[in-house]
Amino acid sequence: MSEEKRSFFRGLVGRLTGGDSPGENVQEQTEEKVEKPGFFERLKKGLSKTHDTLVGRIDSLLLGNKQIDSGTLEELEEILICADIGVATTTELVGVLEQRLKRDELRDGEALKKALKEEMLARLSQQAPPMNTNTASPYVIMVIGVNGVGKTTTIGKLAWKLAAEGKQVLLVAGDTFRAAAAEQLEIWGQRVGVDVVRHKEGADPSAVIFDGCKAALARNKDVLIVDTAGRLHTKVNLMEELKKIRRVMGRELPGAPHETLLILDASTGQNAVSQARLFKEVADVTGIAVTKLDGTAKGGVVVAICSELKIPVKYIGVGEGLEDLREFDPNQFVEAIF
């Protein structure tokens, strides 16, 4: 067949299918088919191991068990601890369920699951208002956390999120202790299209923060996000460094930092609670971002953090994508687990 005839038939098929050509129509259909699932679906998928560890085991416990008694609650206690909800929070939850059992509120398995869901949600909902970057200009976010928890990645994703909302963002590489920390932050800055202030490795962090504050004012930035070192094992040094950083911020930008965001890795389970407790001692933590919830069976640690430490979880990370860092929604989180 000649090329002229081929072109004629391609055009005819294109007109019949509503596209310019068969190839374009197929491509459009393919793009529609591979449309990315919504965040709630990704959240459910990310929390699937936590669901299996918690709800899956509860379902097995209740299978064929028509009556809820103290023995059922004892076994439930073990399941909750294994799901990294923690001994203290588990003891509190089971104690409340025992009271509800005495009031004849837990007549069957569904009633027990519903009650547990309500009690978990009550502890997760003790939240402070979401971060409001409109309350100051520049609004300063100091980010803290041990090395390896996803601190730099979270800063990059948060910068992207704020920039997408129309904010002018500046990053400050205040972790001058860890090798390549500033380079990693600079790569994120280039990726999401925001400026980064940095010094050489080993420089005084407070000097970098000072320059960052001056730059934020000079460049009329809306948000200033400050990275800090994560060497928690040298607690005394870290405490003094954070105090000095806060003094510099407060002097250059009165009221700063407006948010002190602690980054925790969900996959470390109860170790994340220990980290939060230590950082709460050395810094005025106002919110927490829990990373790496996807692929871990330890998502229950979020309940322990909110219940035991009374620090609000403000962000959760459930994947590698830029859009996978989201503001924490307690209702959505509990629904995804159950």
CA–centroid distance for 32 within its chain: 29
> How much is the average pLDDT of 90-102?
95
Do the Cβ atoms of 129 and 89 come closer than 8 Å?
Answer: no
The reply to whether 101 and 183 lie within a common domain is: no
Identify the weakest region by mean pLDDT among 69-83, 118-132, 182-196, 281-295: 118-132
Q: In this predicted structure, what is the pLDDT of residue 13?
A: 40
pLDDT digits over 313-327, tens only? 999 998 888 988 999
Q: Nearest-CA neighbor of 151 among 181, 189, 192? A: 181
The reply to whether 240 and 209 lie within a common domain is: yes
> How much is the average pLDDT of 118-146?
90
Q: In this predicted structure, what is the pLDDT of residue 33?
A: 39
The reply to whether 153 and 298 lie within a common domain is: yes
Percent of the chain with pLDDT over 90: 61
- How many domains would you assign to the chain? 2
Q: Per the domain annotation, does 84 fall within a domain?
A: yes
Final residue belonging to a domain, choices 91, 124, 157: 124
Q: Over 70: is that where the pLDDT of 12 sits? A: no
> How much is the average pLDDT of 196-205?
91
pLDDT digits over 273-316, tens only? 999 998 888 888 999 999 999 878 899 999 999 999 989 999 99
Q: In this predicted structure, what is the pLDDT of residue 237?
A: 77
Q: In this predicted structure, what is the pLDDT of residue 199?
A: 92
CATH number of the domain residue 296 falls in: 3.40.50.300
Q: In this predicted structure, what is the pLDDT of residue 144?
A: 94
Q: Over 80: is that where the pLDDT of 23 sits? A: no
Q: Over 50: is that where the pLDDT of 60 sits? A: yes
Q: In this predicted structure, what is the pLDDT of residue 332?
A: 92
Q: Nearest-CA neighbor of 163 among 105, 80, 106, 225? A: 225
Residue where the block lists tokens 């929604």: 329
Q: In this predicted structure, what is the pLDDT of residue 197?
A: 97
CA torsion 7→11→16→17, rounded to 10°? 100
CA distance 262 to 160: 18
* C-beta atoms surrounding 96 within 10 Å: 15
Identify the band that residue 234 occupies on the pLDDT scale cut at 50, 70 and 90: low
Structural domain including 60 reads: 51-124
Q: Over 80: is that where the pLDDT of 239 sits? A: no
Identify the band that residue 21 occupies on the pLDDT scale cut at 50, 70 and 90: very low
Written as one string, the DSSP assignment of 224-252 is EEEE----TTSHHHHHHHHHHHHHHHHHH
CATH number of the domain residue 92 falls in: 1.20.120.140
